[in-house]
Amino acid sequence: MKNRALIVSVENFYPGADLSRRSGVKKDTQRLHKILTKLGFSVEIKIDIEAEEIYEAFKAESEKTVKDCFMGIISTHGEEGVVFGADGRAVKLSEIYGYFRSPTMADKSKLFLIQACRGHGLDVGVEVETDSSSSKEEDGMSEIFSIPIDTAVMYATPPGYAAFMHPTGAVLIQTLCNLLEMEGAPDLEITKLLTRLNYQVAYNFQARGEKFGGKKQMPCIVTRFTREVFPFSRTAAAEDLSSTFAATKLIDEPTRLRKSSII
């Protein structure tokens, strides 16, 4: 059994949705898939799906067994408390998080990464862009209260602010990928890793261009973990790969007449 990750990425929206195309989504998705797979996760990707399909995808994941940790990544346009499907309809994050109160996930670690705006604000010392589409205060509160125990959520931005998206990828996702490729970083306890991610984005990123030049981005972490969690540990990933190799060896061993090959 492996840890699992679900990546929901929306790049293109229906013509009637009045939401702009999000260049860079494919780069984020491909890189996340590659890195998380190396770290022992079983990764499923959903591209340009409608709001109802987003609900269905996370509901299904909440009912499956997992080794230690589930990771959900949503990259799309958003407002405070909601993200948008390809059809332009809103998906309440509180409902997504609520699914993971299921008995199947009761003793498992849950980690969500939300690459989406939470408003339209631009801050000289915080952040910017157009992953935004207005916000209702009650949605934000119900969202926070809906987060299950032993769950952390990393938002690209604080409430009320917009988040950067770039043709080379989102600064939050690309910075996370950079960290996970650094020696020793995957073995960090998750809150330490996310704190480093906050630091890297807040102090090393600054928007360029006439419109957004000088603007910053500050991610936001909400955690309800009650224990230390190491979801990206290379030791655990190596054990998963070792057990997979061992199982493959047991299956292939009786067939000694056939030459083995590696592709």
Residues 69, 117, 120, 220: which is the catalytic one? Answer: 117
| CA separation, residue 210 to residues 3, 119, 207, 215 (Å) | 43, 21, 10, 11
Contact 94, 146 (CB under 8 A): yes
- Terminal alpha carbon distance of the chain: 24
Other Cβ atoms closer than 10 A to 19 = 22
Give strand pairing partners of 41. 3
Residues 33, 77, 120, 220: which is the catalytic one? Answer: 77
Q: Is 117 labeled as catalytic in the residue annotation? A: yes
pLDDT of the chain, 263 residues: tens digit per residue: 899 999 999 999 999 999 999 999 999 999 999 999 999 999 999 999 999 999 999 999 999 999 999 999 999 999 999 999 999 999 999 999 999 999 999 999 999 999 999 887 655 453 344 455 444 455 556 688 899 999 999 999 888 888 877 889 999 999 999 999 999 999 999 999 999 999 998 888 655 545 554 556 778 999 999 999 999 997 656 555 554 444 434 434 443 433 333 33
Q: Is 69 labeled as catalytic in the residue annotation? A: no
Q: Using CA atoms of 5, 139, 10, 69 in order, give the dihedral in degrees to the nearest 10.
A: 0
| CA nearest to 21, candidates 35, 9, 10 | 10
